[in-house]
Amino acid sequence: MVVTRVAASYVQLLYEFLEGEGVDAERVLGLPPSPQEHFVSMSVWQAMLAKVQALDGRPALGLRIAEKISPRHFGVVGYAALACDTLADALLRLERYHASVYDANLAQLQITPKGVCIEWGVSRGRPGALVDETAIASLVQLARDITGRYWPITEVAFVNPRPDDVTCYEDFFGCAVRFDQPRTRLVIAAEFLALPVRKTDPALLADLDRQAQELLARVSAVPASVEAWRRSLVPLIREGRATLAELSALHHTSPRSLQRRLAEHGMTFQSLLDDTRFQLARNYLLESSLDLVEMALLLGYSEQSAFTRAFRHWTGMAPAQWRRQQLSQPQAQAA
């Protein structure tokens, strides 16, 4: 039996929806996921939505929940989407790391004559209308939010039965919505893919950068200039712009001058970048609940496998193996 999950940050959206409706969310749903929980099982998520539906009683609950979505509810994946230049880039990033937020049925993205098509099959089960509608509407709302404007979807289809009234669905998506289809399907017109992404969640970006910089500050002392370069690398790393030219520009110097100053400390740009990534990776593994996909994103790697290869080069171990070994040491010493 396949066990599927949703991200705890995504579940938090339901609590905020209820509070916005003037309902005591904890009374209805119990305590929210703890900061240490990264995932909530799909069965728990289904039960939560069912409780809210029974309490609310109105149609299209998933659409109304989705209207409250923001990048932070998608965790590091939402954060990564904000670092993209265009909607097309953000959708590709969301597809690649989809499973770190919602792994019921994995998304498949393809180019069609109508535009970009994102499809979800049923190979891992049918979570139900509430789960599907909340997920698809949340993705659409996020895409509209990060581009800063409403735009109609070209095509929407659900595997679930047709509800009595589809008016609210057509109003939300801006197109005809089909039900009882073999696959859940979303088509976005090509004309919207070039829309620039607004960097409109500075609190999320600042919080993650602050955490990264605090982790670096706890590493053994280094000269002030090296510490300044490390701190400047944090946003460059997460945005995939960690190059000598970009770092030089931030410090108002030429690449050649920065290379010379690095050499005075016995370093190269690559060694500075590798050391910064390594220090961040070690601390993320020991002091956070991030999974490896999220760590790879924060460290500027395009794929988890690239992060794993780099970490194995640094330590001789895969990240998960290193984490288990480090976390078991205090227990072993206590025994």
Please, is 226 exposed, middle or buried when counting C-beta atoms within 10 Å of its C-beta (0-12, 13-18, 19+)?
middle
**Would you state the pLDDT for residue 13?**
92
Cα–Cα distance, 102 to 65 (Å, whole number): 16
Residue 85: closest CA among 8, 197, 168: 197
Find the largest Cα–Cα distance for the chain.
72
pTM: 0.70
**Would you state the pLDDT for residue 216?**
63
Q: Please name each of the domains of the chain with its CATH number.
A: 59-192 (no CATH), 202-327 (1.10.10.60)
* Mean pLDDT by groups of 10 residues along the chain of 335 residues: 78 93 94 81 94 92 92 79 83 78 83 89 89 94 91 96 94 96 95 84 61 60 78 83 91 90 91 91 80 82 86 92 82 43
**Would you state the pLDDT for residue 16?**
93
**Would you state the pLDDT for residue 66?**
93
Tell me the per-residue pLDDT of 186-211, one tens digit each, with 9 for 90 and over.
999 999 999 998 765 556 556 666 66
CA distances to 39, 109, 131, 150, 193 from 91, rounded to whole Å, are 22, 9, 20, 16, 9
**Would you state the pLDDT for residue 161?**
95
**Would you state the pLDDT for residue 103?**
77
Tell me the per-residue pLDDT of 65-113, one tens digit each, with 9 for 90 and over.
999 888 888 877 787 787 778 899 888 878 777 777 887 888 888 888 8
